[in-house]
Structure 1
Amino acid sequence: MLLEVPEVTESQISPLAGYTIGVTAARRADELGALMERRGATVLHGAAIRIIPLADDSDLLAATTNLLEGGPVDFAVATTGIGFRGWIEAADGWGLGQRLLDVLRKADVLARGPKAKGAVRAAGLVEKWSPESEASAELLDYLLDVGVEGKRVAVQLHGEPLREFVEALRSAGAEVVEIPVYRWTGPVDPGPLERLIDAVLAGQVDAITFTSAPAAASVLETADRLGRLEPLLEALRERVLVVGVGSITAGPLTSLGVPVVCPERARIGALVRELAVTLPQRAVRLSIEGRDLELRGQAVVFDGELRPVPPAPMALLRALAATPGRVLSRPALAGVLRRHSGREAGVDEHAVETAVGRLRAALGDPSLVQTVVKRGYRLAVPLA
């Protein structure tokens, strides 16, 4: 019989053990992967973007020069700590650091959150105001309430354009200077990302994480270039858990009907905690003759022991677990293998027998998968 999903506790096997998770991040990818591995996950890296070094970014230099030469600045918006700090350091490297700080001291500096506030103060500046919500929307409301008509506003970006924010200020009569800190482009080597997409389509990835909207857009663009966009969207909509660090990051995916889980706080630590709670809740749990069997992404937990299961046998196990105790015919299970492998040739009843043998070996108890003569196979679960 099917069991209710129990609450995951620290005393159990690591919450992400048996799951394979894709990481598309470029910056802090190793840190993100390590947090997942610490919780038992297997991690596949496929960086979807490349960060252009600040010192080499001609667009940032041009925007900074424009800011300095275009007249006084009335408001300066710091959206992220690392972005604001990087901007000041890059300006210093170009010999413009002191001029930039002098201009910003005469402006009302607004900091979106604590990290941005810390970077502002580290630069020797004092913020005029910072929203408790850490939301750009509240920053915008503050500026519109104060009034920006005829004012010059510098908005420090962080890889993602703030189109609605900027357009609202311009519509209110402000001159907005966008400071594009940390611009992103496609990866130098697309191979790891292409292999990650292949793994998703092959059913070898249980969850995929995104920490920026450009990374999400890059994954979709890469899949489209490979002619695999629709199969990828189907996998992300129906089978793979998609986790984004925030709603802006999720935008390119949700606009195409892909459900995205986001933590309450837009932090990578919160993202991993959300993943460690949500992914185990999707596990299938069965009781077979008083023994617990839990189907995780690429493994099972049987009698409290984690047992890896190869992809094809796992596909059969999931099919059998979908109707526990009922017989599935060999032709039906051959169809499961064909859908799993994406090919028709070489997938017959003999392939089913081979996969069942491998499944029994992986489970460590052949009696769990029973042969029903001339009919097929079933899990050893009593029918209700």
Structure 2
Amino acid sequence: MSRRREPKFFTNLPIDTGCSMLRVCSFESRKQAEMASLIRRQGGEATVVASMQEVPLEDNRAVWEFAEALRAGSIDVVVFLTGVGAKAVLQVVETRSDRDDFFAALRGCVRVVRGPKPAVVLREWGTPADFVAAEPNTWREILTVFETSLLLSGKTVAVQEYGQPASELHAALAEQGAEVISVPVYRWELPDDIGPLSDAIQATIAGRFDVLLFTSANQLNNVLEVAEKAGKDAWLAAAQKCVIGSIGPTASERVRSFGLTVDVEPEHPKMGHLVRETLEAAPQILSQRSGD
């Protein structure tokens, strides 16, 4: 007699599967172990499956052209959106030139970062950021920096991209008279092994989760891409019955764009805050939905 195949999920420590525990699924890819630990510390049953991976672009022409323009003094402002992306830019630059020359050129322009992670990288380079966008660190907070502190008319602004073009930011900067240069360094793809993600999608449809957590907008894109095979509409219907936690406005906007409700968005866009606030609110939300 054949046995039913059980989903394979990322696990860090043995977990108590008591019925009183909230069953939590996170699609975090880069910090799976940390996310699983955070969920368990809050008393949840953790399922953490990778939903995406960062793949460096093979054609780095945009980065080289950016570095050349920077050295020529043709760029007035550089915006770094991620720490990983900033490091990737330097790695590409170093294949053709000296890092100190790049740093010297970078000091000659205004440096704006989206949040604390790229700020740390720039400090390590000896080129500290002139402006750090406030929380929740979206393109809107970056735009506020320009609206309150920098005149962009006639300026050239280079934007380090992460995964996909920041089209809203580009449009807003262009409206203020800036010439915007896109500097992509990597793209987001599905994990090499989508088995765990597929299993989690099936488990969601089967009603095996109480809580779904999203730490980036692109996680939902990839979940839905894989869900096409299992039934995208079925997954969306099942997800709507779960408590959904989103780490910040950008991810929340994407979640809502598919007709889903964001039940919890923490005041601070950090994984620890997301897990704690969502799991604290989940029992009452689930009780209200069940009519208890």
Give the TM-score, by structure 1 length.
0.63
Contact 1:216-1:253 at 8 Å conserved across structures: yes
Q: State the distance in 2 between where 1:140 and 1:182 align.
A: 23
Structure 1 residues 94 and 206, CA gap change in structure 2 (3 angstroms): farther
**Alpha-carbon displacement from aligned partner over 1:240-262 (angstroms, at most 9, x marks no partner):** 11111112112332012100121
Alignment of 1:200-215 (within 5 A): 200-215=204-219
Q: How much is the aligned-residue C-alpha RMSD, in angstroms? A: 2.9
Aligned partners of 1:107, 1:188: CA distance in 2, in Å? 39
Q: Where does residue 44 of structure 1 map in the other structure?
A: 47
**Equivalent AA in structure 1 for residue 58 of structure 2:** S
Distance 1:212 1:153, change over 3 A: same
- What SS class does the counterpart of residue 30 from structure 2 fall into? coil
Counterpart contact for 1:73–1:104, Cα < 8 Å: no
SS of residue matched to 2:140: helix
Q: Is structure 2 residue 160 aligned with structure 1 residue 189?
A: no
**Equivalent residues of 2:32, 2:49 under 8 A apart:** no
Q: Are the aligned partners of 2:214 and 2:246 in contact in 1 as well (CA < 8 Å)?
A: yes
Q: Is the 8 A contact 2:63 2:185 kept in 1?
A: no
User: Which structure 2 residues correspond to residues 21-36 of structure 1 after superposition, within 5 A?
Assistant: 21-36=24-39
The SS at the match of 2:213 is: strand
Decide whether aligned partners of structure 1 residues 41 and 96 sit closer, same or farther in structure 2, where only a CA change above 3 A counts.
farther
Task: Decide whether aligned partners of structure 1 residues 76 and 17 sit closer, same or farther in structure 2, where only a CA change above 3 A counts.
Answer: farther
User: Does the aligned pair in 2 maintain the 1:83–1:156 contact within 8 Å?
Assistant: yes
Task: Give the Å deviation of 1:86.
Answer: 4.2
TM-score (norm 2): 0.81
The code of the aligned residue for 2:62 comes to A
Q: Is the 8 A contact 1:80 1:112 kept in 2?
A: yes
1:67 paired to 2:63: no
Question: Is contact 2:138–2:250 with CA below 8 Å preserved after alignment?
Answer: no
Q: 2:172 aligns with which of 160, 168, 193?
A: 168
The one-letter code matched in structure 1 to 2:209 is V
> For residues 263 and 132 of structure 1, what CA distance do their matches in structure 2 show?
15
In the alignment, does 2:259 pair up with 1:257? Answer: yes
Higher relative contact order (CA 8 A, sep 6+): 2
Q: 2:13: which partner in 1?
A: none
> What is the CA distance between 1:182 and its match in structure 2?
4.4
Residues 46 and 138 of structure 1: CA distance in aligned 2, closer, same or farther (over 3 Å):
closer
AA in 2 matched with 1:121: R
Write the mapping of 1:363-382 to structure 2, written as runs, cut at 5 A: none
Aligned to 1:112: 114
Matched-pair contact (CA < 8 Å) for 2:157–2:181: yes
C-alpha separation in 1, matches of 2:20 and 2:272: 18
Identity of aligned residues (%): 29
Secondary structure at the counterpart of residue 126 of structure 2: coil
Cα pair 1:157 1:180 within 8 Å, conserved = yes
Instruction: Measure, in 1, the Cα distance between the counterparts of 2:67 and 2:245.
Output: 40
TM-superposed CA distance for 1:178, in Å, is 2.0
Q: Which residue of 1 aligns with 2:6?
A: none
Equivalent residue number for residue 243 of structure 1: 245
- Aligned to 1:282, what secondary structure does the other structure show? helix
1:8-60 CA deviation, whole Å, 9 max, x = no partner?
xxxxx9xx9612211212111221111112223222233221221x4xx324x
Q: 1:68 to 1:254 in 2, by over 3 A?
A: same
Q: 2:237 matched to 1:231?
A: no
Q: Which structure 1 segments of 5+ residues have no match?
A: 1-12, 286-317, 324-384
- Mapping of 1:1-384 within 5 angstroms? 18-52=21-55, 54=56, 57-59=57-59, 61-70=60-69, 71=72, 72-92=74-94, 95=97, 97-133=99-135, 134-144=137-147, 146-224=150-228, 226-237=229-240, 239-260=241-262, 261-282=264-285, 284=287
DSSP-derived class of the 1:154 partner? strand
Q: Distance in 1 between matches of 2:277 and 2:184?
A: 30
Aligned partner of residue 43 in structure 1, secondary structure = strand
Return closer, same or farther for 1:196/1:137 CA change in 2, 3 Å cut-off: same
Alignment-mate amino acid for residue 187 of structure 2: R
**What residue identity is the alignment partner of 1:102?**
A
Residue 109 of structure 1 aligns to a residue whose secondary structure is strand
Show CA shifts across 1:42-94 (max 9, x none).
22233221221x4xx324x2221010233421001123334324433453356
CA contact (8 A) 1:108 1:128 kept: yes
**AA partner of residue 162 (structure 1):** A
What is the distance in 2 between the residues matched to 1:249 and 1:94?
36
AA partner of residue 41 (structure 1): G
